[in-house]
């Protein structure tokens, strides 16, 4: 598995919230749903995306934006337009004063806003739970990333435009998979840009020494790696590897390996029914007890509690080590 494939295998929507938003200026919507990831595609017109902290961006037809939660943001025709609605956790909607909207902006199947033929149309897909998107991917993304239409000419968009308003058996599953593919295509385009702010380990893959070590660790996490064995594979001394790896990745080799193994274990606990003993062997721990101890130290909960929590958020509570 190459590094980018490993990073992008994370999105797995389960009953994602997807709508076609249709507005006429002036319009503005405040988003406080705390969703881990939301993708917005402009179909018609323009929209400002204004995070509470950070640069505001203007989206035009064909442009795409991905907002990484849980920080709130506002979308509207103008940054100064006051919000007319607030999106809350669980796709609940209210007026800014807290009164429930009670469906007053519903326009039909997965359509919402002022009117269906509004001058502004956006497709919006929201992953509701952090468990649907791997922590490795979220950590690699800025709070708000944007792609111009010419950079991300995704053939999925017209198909999604048709499917989002269909009301047929199994339609939610179809939309979940389309959302996953759209996000993966967008992130692949974003990471491929020379100026992309990729994570340190991703940039370090270009280094002839550290890149080889990262690939060894990512491809075979179950191997009993040591700094000595990794240094031998890379053709450098232990001290040289430790120094170079820490400088480029931001943490020592074995710390990175521990974090990688535990992240894989967290995904396996969420996505499979494999026993803890099986998962421990798959990610390089000698026993279920050893994995459980390391997992609880880093994530703050036992593997069983993480599995029972399912798609609820689970993030490291301490640096892996």
Res 75: pLDDT:
96
Average pLDDT, the chain: 86
Instruction: Look at strands 28-31 and 144-147 and give their pairing.
Output: unpaired
Q: Which residues, other chains included, contact 290 with Cβ-Cβ below 8 Å and sequence gap of 6+?
A: 280
Q: Would you tell me how many other CB atoms lie within 10 Å of the CB of residue 307?
A: 19
Q: Would you tell me how many other CB atoms lie within 10 Å of the CB of residue 291?
A: 24
Q: 11 in the Ramachandran plot: left (φ > 0), alpha (ψ -120 to 50) or beta? A: beta
Q: 49 in the Ramachandran plot: left (φ > 0), alpha (ψ -120 to 50) or beta? A: beta
Whether 48 and 30 have beta carbons less than 8 Å apart is answered as no
Res 319: pLDDT:
44
Res 8: pLDDT:
62
**Residue 276, both tokens:** 């803890």
Instruction: Look at strands 37-44 and 47-51 and give their pairing.
Output: unpaired
Res 7: pLDDT:
61
pLDDT of residue 128 exceeding 90, the answer is: no
Give the DSSP letter string of 99-166: -B-TTTTB-STTEEES-TT-SEEEEEEEE-SGGGS-HHHHHHS-SEEEE-TTT---THHHHHHHHTT-
DSSP β-bridge partners for residue 106: 112
Whether 252 and 246 have beta carbons less than 8 Å apart is answered as yes
**Cis amide bond preceding 155, omega within 30:** no
Res 197: pLDDT:
63
Task: Check residue 249 and report its DSSP letter.
Answer: H
* pTM value surpassing 0.75: no
First to last CA, the chain: 24
Whether 29 and 74 have beta carbons less than 8 Å apart is answered as yes
| Strand blocks (E) in the chain | 17-23, 28-31, 37-44, 47-51, 57-59, 64-68, 73-76, 85-88, 92-94, 111-113, 120-127, 144-147
pLDDT of residue 137 exceeding 90, the answer is: no
Res 201: pLDDT:
76
Whether 242 and 228 have beta carbons less than 8 Å apart is answered as no
Q: Which residues, other chains included, contact 17 with Cβ-Cβ below 8 Å and sequence gap of 6+?
A: 35, 91, 125, 126, 128
Q: Is 143 exposed, middle or buried (0-12, 13-18, 19+ CB in 10 A)?
A: middle
Q: How confident is the model at residue 133 (pLDDT cuts 50, 70, 90)?
A: low
**Of 258 and 142, the one with more pLDDT:** 258
Q: Which residues, other chains included, contact 269 with Cβ-Cβ below 8 Å and sequence gap of 6+?
A: 276, 279, 303, 306, 307
Task: Check residue 83 and report its DSSP letter.
Answer: P
pLDDT digits (tens, 9 = 90+) for 222-281: 999 999 999 999 999 999 999 999 999 999 999 999 998 998 898 888 778 899 999 999
What average pLDDT does this structure show over 74-81? 96
pLDDT of residue 320 exceeding 50, the answer is: no
Res 200: pLDDT:
77
**Of 109 and 199, the one with more pLDDT:** 109
pLDDT digits (tens, 9 = 90+) for 271-318: 788 999 999 999 999 999 999 999 999 989 999 998 887 644 445 554
Q: Report the distance separating Cα 157 and Cα 159, nearest Å.
A: 5
CA 150 → CA 155, 194, 222, distances in Å?
Answer: 12, 16, 41
pLDDT digits (tens, 9 = 90+) for 5-18: 666 665 667 777 88
Res 18: pLDDT:
87
Q: Report the distance separating Cα 238 and Cα 242, nearest Å.
A: 6
């Amino acid at each position: 598995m190459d590094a980018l494939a490993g990073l992008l295998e994370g999105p797995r929507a389960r009953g994602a919230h997807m709508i076609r938003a249709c507005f006429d200026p002036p319009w503005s919507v405040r988003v406080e749903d705390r969703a881990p990831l939301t993708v917005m595609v402009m179909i018609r017109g323009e929209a400002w995306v204004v995070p509470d902290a950070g640069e505001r961006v203007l989206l035009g037809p064909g442009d795409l934006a991905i907002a990484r939660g849980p920080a709130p943001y506002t979308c509207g025709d103008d940054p100064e337009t006051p919000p007319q609605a607030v999106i809350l956790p669980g796709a609940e909607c209210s007026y800014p004063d807290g009164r429930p909207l009670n469906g007053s902006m519903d326009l039909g199947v997965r359509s919402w806003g002022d009117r269906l033929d509004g001058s502004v149309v956006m497709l919006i897909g929201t992953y509701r739970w952090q468990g649907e998107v791997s922590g490795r991917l979220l950590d690699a993304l800025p709070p708000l990333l944007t792609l111009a239409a010419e950079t991300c000419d995704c053939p999925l968009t017209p198909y999604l435009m048709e499917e989002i308003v269909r009301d047929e058996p199994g339609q939610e599953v179809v939309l979940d998979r389309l959302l996953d593919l759209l996000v993966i295509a967008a992130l692949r385009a974003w990471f491929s840009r020379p100026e992309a702010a990729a994570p340190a380990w991703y940039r370090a893959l270009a280094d002839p020494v550290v890149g080889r070590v990262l690939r060894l660790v990512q491809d075979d996490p179950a191997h009993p790696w040591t700094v000595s064995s990794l240094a031998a594979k890379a053709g450098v001394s232990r001290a040289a590897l430790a120094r170079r790896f820490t400088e480029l990745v931001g943490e020592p080799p074995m710390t990175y390996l521990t974090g990688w193994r535990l992240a894989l274990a967290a995904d396996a606990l969420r996505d499979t029914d494999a026993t803890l003993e099986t998962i421990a062997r798959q990610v390089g721990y000698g026993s279920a007890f050893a994995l459980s101890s390391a997992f609880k130290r880093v994530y703050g909960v036992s593997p069983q509690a993480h599995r029972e929590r399912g798609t609820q958020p689970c993030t490291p509570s301490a640096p892996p080590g």
